[in-house]
Structure 1
Amino acid sequence: MSFLNGRTNRLLLLWSLITFLMVPTTIAQETTAGIQGTVKDKSGAVVSGATIEVTGPALIGVQRATTDSAGAYRLSQLPPGEYTLTVNMQGFRAYRQTGIALSAGRLPTIDIILELGQMQETVVVTGEAPIVDVTQSKVAVTVDLNVINSIPKGRSFQSLIAFAPGARQEPLQSGSGSRDNGFQINGASDSENVYLIDGINTTNIVNGGVGKNFQVDFLQEVQIKSASFEAEYGGALGGVVNAVPKHGSNAWHGELKTYFRTNALNALDPCASGYTSGGAGTFTGFSTVCGLRLNPTLPQASSAARRDGTPEYYVPKKDTRHILEPGYEVGGPLVNDRLWLFSSYVPTLDTIRRTTTFTGNNPGARELTQTFTQHNAYNRLDYGMFNSLRLFGGWNYAYSRSMGQLGNPDSAYGQRNTGATTDPSTLRSDFGTVNPLSLYSFGGDWTPTSKLVVSGRYGYFFLNNEDRGRPTGIRYVYQTTVNADSRDLAGQAFPVSSVNTANFANMPSNLQTIFDAYKRRSLNTDASYFVGRRWGTHTFKAGYAWMRQSNEVLRNFNTAAVNLNWGEAYTPVTSTTACDQVKAGNQGQFGNPVCEGRYGYFVVGTNVTNTGTDETNSHALYLQDQWTVGHGLTLNLGIRFDKENIPPYRPVFNPVDFGWGDKIAPRIGGAYDLLHNGKVKVYASYCRAARSVPTIGTTVCTPWMMRTTPRSLRL
């Protein structure tokens, strides 16, 4: 496209901005890298019009650029991988540098000096790109595939988060109940982090935190941004974690694999091993049934007797547990240099067998089984329509189902199992949940000229929770205790058949979630334009983001549920006179004007307990400029505007609205190449996020001041 003149370039930029800013989008997240620099001759004079080419196994085709009048060039949207950089210019020897390793978010500066000679002669430089991106002021760490393959890790991407400075695992912060899924980044809570897969937001919609697992078999690398994000990255006061998936290449490759875990190979301590964790499909790293309790065989706590209970630490027997994960991985070209495929499938088959000695109805030892099956798959197509237009589509599938109920585990040391009184016939083998879960991502990058890049990305995240195997019938639940001392309104003892303790029920819970579906749709587009002049270079970027989140829920009882309040009076909530007739009748019959029947009152729940649909929309506009001033100084300037509508879950409350003027976030950063050799940089940044809502107040994100990333220097 070198025939386009400057006026045409400006028209293309204007058209791209207008077109894409009219399309709604969401939080952006980089999944690619870039290279920038200048080309000069040995005398130090800039070389304009030189042709820059980048090739590599991770890139479909070739990416090209031309140096401007200041000798500057910039190549972006390069997938993570290893690249070769080639420079050609009439009257100079060709230049080729190999072994340039790029990870997501990297933008190394590679300055090139050309030697006079014939183009047929080539100067070859072998070596890695500079280890420090001296133009960027963000704080980010990338764990690449070489590291992933070399270190102990869990089965999902979040096990790699702790490799970033300022990030640590925080079990009590997990919103999903698993200690493996809670993380603090630079002191922020887990709910303040944003988690993405292939640039698509998969943060848990309900509680924040990790919204879904993404198997390490699917990973190319993991990027953890901990501070100083550019204006395009919003929605996080903590960190931004992005799992970048694998993709195909021009060579076929593949493998068959199997992972196997078993209690027989794990620690003997059932409380620390995670193999008595409370259910198949969970792997918390510790037992949820271990812990302190009051010893049930000794006198219990009593305020009347001024007596404390006696604590003890309950230790259960280990479960018999096997987790099998067989699978495959394959990738390669469907059409060389045009269409690539990557596909992987690694299901999880988790089985727990537990023996409990029951002491109530149907006593005796029973071995019960619980299973969890999850179909973990990732499929991706990359299509290079032209060298200037590349498209991709990905599908991550993680449907899961759990089945079976377990009894409470017996003690490893003869302690009383308070759950042993359960009737084992009420523990159903078909009891469980079904959880459809899918993530779809589509996107593309268009480079109409070497200076202009237009990008778009769409994502759809779907999660549903459905119950299975819930009993059918009328469930009666005691809200109070009935014993031999209980008396009705007539002063008579309650019927013997009614004697039972509070919370007793004639059957397990029949409350069923028919569906509880969460959906997140997101679309992000932006356009960036590179301008090089003798007084510095600018990379201008503008974008618009939109995200819609929704929840649809339906929960009800299979037949009905009745709460029995024995010996208690009812307090009307609609009117203070609603119970006057009942009180008058009791006064005449029993001499006691209370609002209850002879034995108390009951509440019947026969209809839907929770139903409805709600959704929220958020929008963002951002503008930013990476200005390389010169002499090693780069300024990263940006501003972000957000607009949000947050609906209430109960219609009696008002929604929370943030207008375009309520959330304005300036982002200012700077980086300085201290030794002018690409090895040491000093950088600083400042950001402010203001929310001008009277009932919420103002939030200011902590400014990250002077930082350095040399080999061994920190100021």
Structure 2
Amino acid sequence: MRVVLRTVAGLSAFLLLPSVALAQAVIAGTVKDPSGAVLPGVTVEAASPALIEKVRTVSTDGTGQYRVEDLRPGTYTVTFTLQGFSTFKREGIELTGSFTATINAELKVGALAETITVSGETPVVDVQSARRETTLSNDVIRSLPTVRNYNAMVVLVPGVITNTNDVATGPLINQFPIHGGRANESRLTVDGLNIGNPPGGNQPPTYVADVANSQEVTFTTSGGLGEAETAGLVMNIIPKTGGNNFQGSAYFSGTGEHFLTDNYDDEIRAAGLAAPTPTSKVYDLNGAFGGPIKKDRIWFFANARTEGSTRVNANQFYNLNAGDPTKWLYAPDYSRPGFSDRTWENVSGRITWQATRRNKIGVFWDEQAVCRKCEGTSTGLASPAQIVSPEADGVGATKPLRVQQVTWSSPATSRLLLDAGFGTTYYGWGNFEREGNNTRSLVRVQEQCATPCPANGGIANLYYRSQDWNDNYTGAYPWRASISYITGRHSLKFGHTGTYFNDDRTSFTNDQQLRYRFNNGVPNQITEAVPFTQLARASILAFYAQEQFTMSRLTLQGGLRYDRARGWFPEQKIGPTRFLPTPIVFPETKGVD
């Protein structure tokens, strides 16, 4: 059994692991009287239109300190009341990300009917947390001249190096390590629940994150505790939840070949540089609407989006002999270059329900499809991943891509905070079979030669004549649960997180279950191609405890975490097929355990 036991403890300034993105903003501080004596038992109310429950209430402890946690981004007013003292009110406090705003108060002796209102700038330095993050508000995101997807956002964070640094015209499977870390340590979360890609080590899939209609996006780079899963960058999208007023928005951007130019002339061509592969069409249409189903009780927010791009594929041309069973060689049609036409479509909805004064429930559903009706070729991160003739290639679809979430939170008392959530990320992916595939009866051919292959089309290492395809379906199912005990001086949290993964892949080939290899048009190898299925399962369970202790200007943070990862392969078989009439059965096998 492999067990990972990680202990992180010490002064907050030395904690370098990113926290889980569930952490939200905090208002904390100390309440005193005019003589400087601390005041215990002061009622502190944090109110904001961003809260469906309107107000969160706590009390100062014996040291005069208070702490209001799990606050959504927005503008807050904090009110301090105590019998025998004038009411003190602080307005215009802007909260973003997981920032801790220190708001101290001084209560003067007087009647409760007397209220002292103070308006001032929001604190800009977090003096109670070692967490380091970059926050992009909705206004900033809307102003950026870039694609409104997560892969275009992460490059704004200092220290991040992505695997796709070129201009992106749509969502990609993007790795974004930070501080020299491993590529698959990065995480994309929506409202604190991970959007996982099991084949990629739980990094993000080709997910169309609705960043333009989010409340804000935070990038946590360092400063975590026991709830941190990895040492990588965590990008958390805090979605809009609606409100007591109906509001909507619409957005469109696009370009086309009439707005393009190029400098590819005879001189550049003579120097041996390849012809460019311009993007001939890019568009993004988005609409969103939200508001109350019942004021102060049930809010909704819905979004619909369609986007796409089309460009020419380098060194790919349609085959004049495609679909002809009597022809074995590749004949390029130079008047018809191959192309990639990518489309991304999604519809999502979120319901927030304040079931009781102390119980809030959120439900989220996001249904997406990549290349639902594409006709070009896109088999991987590059397009195409191999040198493949269009009749032997697929569109590289992801359908469906389904994200679902259910969350529950409850400030059970002024000091006890409960939280739980469950999510799913399920998608079909790979080189699906083309609709109306007319190459099933034909044998797939690979041209082996490394020279220009004059006898067979002039393109080295080309696959052509028949399509191989895959039906792959995978899912990640995360959950979380935590209980926090919060006083002005202490913030103690115990929690559990887990994820279950499944990854099912089935490979198919032509009806003859054969592949040929040619060398400059001359056959030199035959391969029996057997369709097969691969099944994989995994799970991760974690338990953690963490504490934050504040005394005057000193804040100490520490955490303890236990992780257990397990993987296995269910029973599976190959056959019966043409060349394998008796199936081979493989019993269930352990992986990492």
Q: Does 1:616 align with 2:538?
A: yes
In structure 1, which of residues 560, 563, 586 is the aligned counterpart of residue 512 of structure 2? 560
Secondary structure at the aligned position of 1:436 is classed as strand
Aligned residues: 524
The answer to whether the 8 Å contact 1:198/1:441 transfers is: no
Contact 1:522-1:548 at 8 Å conserved across structures: yes
The answer (yes or no) to whether the contact 1:171–1:183 under 8 Å persists in 2 is no
Give the counterpart of 1:223 among 218, 242, 248: 218
Amino acid at match of 1:41: D
1:178-189 equivalence runs, <5 A = 181-189=174-182
> 1:39·1:46 contact (CA, 8 Å) conserved in 2?
yes
Structure 1 counterpart SS, 2:130: coil
Deviation at 1:37, TM superposition (A): 1.7
State the one-letter code of the partner of 2:287: Y
Aligned 8 A contact 2:440 2:466 in 1: no
1:477 paired with 2:477, answer no
Q: What is the one-letter code of the residue matched to 2:442?
A: I
Residue in 2 that maps onto 1:316: 276
Q: 1:467 aligns with which of 429, 433, 441?
A: 433
Spell out the pairing of 1:421-436 with structure 2 (5 A cutoff): 426=391, 433-436=397-400
Matches within 5 A, 1:505-516: 508-513=465-470, 515-516=471-472
**Distance (whole Å) between structure 2 residues aligned to residue 480 and residue 162 of structure 1:** 39
Cα distance change, pair 404–69 in 1 and its aligned pair in 2 (3 A): same
Contact 2:441 2:510 in 1 (8 A): yes
Identity of aligned pairs, percent?
24
- Paired with 1:106 and 1:566, the residues of 2 have a C-alpha distance of 63
CA contact (8 A) 1:529 1:539 kept: yes
SS of the residue corresponding to residue 433 of structure 2 reads strand
8 Å CA contact 2:20, 2:234 repeated in 1: no
* Matches for 1:532-571 after TM superposition, within 5 Å: 532=488, 537-564=489-516
Give the Cα separation in 1 of the matches to 2:456 and 2:88: 92
Distance 1:42 1:158, change over 3 A: farther
Tell me: CA distance 1:255–1:498, structure 2 relative to 1, closer, same or farther (3 Å). closer
Please give the alpha-carbon distance, in whole angstroms, between the structure 2 residues aligned to 1:370 and 1:88: 64
- Whether 1:47 and 2:34 are equivalent positions in the alignment is no
Is contact 1:172-1:182 (8 Å) kept? no
Whole-Å separation in 1 of the counterparts to 2:525 and 2:509? 20
Aligned twin of 1:399: 369
Q: Check if 1:383 corresponds to 2:383.
A: no
Shift of 1:501: 10
8 Å Cα contact 2:445/2:465 also seen in 1: no
Q: How does 1:134-283 map to 2 (within 5 A)?
A: 134-171=127-164, 181-208=174-201, 209-211=203-205, 212-234=207-229, 236-266=230-260, 268=262
Judging changes above 3 Å, is the alpha-carbon distance between structure 1 residues 637 and 106 closer, same or farther for their aligned structure 2 residues? same
Q: Which residue of 1 aligns with 2:75?
A: 82
Change (3 A) 1:112 1:474: same
Relative to structure 1, is the Cα distance of residues 432 and 468 closer, same or farther in structure 2, using a 3 angstrom cutoff?
farther
The answer for unaligned runs of 5 or more in structure 1 is 1-26, 272-291, 296-310, 408-418, 482-496, 568-598, 659-715
Higher Cα Rg, which structure: 1
**5+ long unaligned stretches in structure 2:** 1-18, 321-329, 379-386, 450-454, 573-585
Whole-Å Cα distance in 1 between the matches of residues 119 and 590 of structure 2?
A: 59
Distance 2:211 2:38 in 1: 45
Letter in 1 for 2:562: F
Q: Is the 8 A contact 1:162 1:168 kept in 2?
A: yes
- Of 409, 413, 426, 1:449 maps to 413
User: Is contact 2:445-2:516 (8 Å) kept?
Assistant: yes
Change in Cα spacing, 1:445 to 1:130, as seen in structure 2 (3 Å) is same
CA–CA separation in structure 2 for the residues paired with 1:199 and 1:157: 15
Question: Which letter does structure 2 place at the counterpart of 1:529?
Answer: Y
Give 1:268 deviation, angstroms.
Answer: 3.0
Contact residue 434 and residue 468 of structure 1 kept, 8 A? no
| Aligned-partner Cα distance in 2 for 1:105–1:123 | 28
Q: Please point out which of 472, 478, 492 is paired with 1:522.
A: 478
Q: Within 1, Cα distance between the matches of 2:517 and 2:319? A: 29
Q: CA RMSD in A?
A: 3.9
| TM-superposed deviation, 1:144 | 2.0
- How far 1:220 moved relative to its partner? 1.7
Correspondence 1:374 to 2:367: no
- Distance verdict in 2 for CA 1:318–1:540, change over 3 Å: closer
Q: 2:138 touches 2:213 (CA, 8 Å); kept in 1?
A: no
The residue that corresponds to 1:275 in the other structure is none
TM-score by length of 1: 0.66
Q: Which amino acid aligns with 1:388?
A: R
Provide the rounded CA distance (Å) in 2 between the counterparts of 1:548 and 1:331.
Answer: 33
1:339 aligns with 2:309: no
State whether residues 277 and 311 of structure 2, in contact with CA within 8 Å, keep that contact through their aligned partners in structure 1.
no
Deviations 1:358-407 (A, max 9, x none): 89758573477754332123311111122321111112222122522379
**Deviation by residue 1:666-689 (Cα, 9 ceiling, x = unmatched):** xxxxxxxxxxxxxxxxxxxxxxxx
Q: Tell me if structure 1 keeps the 8 A contact 2:278–2:312.
A: no
Mapping of residues 125-136 of structure 1, within 5 Å: 125-136=118-129
Instruction: Return the offset for 1:324.
Output: 2.5
- Cα deviation, 1:173-215, whole Å, max 9, x if unaligned, reads 99x9988934331122332222222212124322354422313
What is the CA distance between 1:509 and its match in structure 2? 3.0
1:132-171 deviation per Cα after TM superposition (whole angstroms, max 9, x unaligned): 1211112222222232233333221332323333334453
Q: CA deviation at 1:521?
A: 0.4
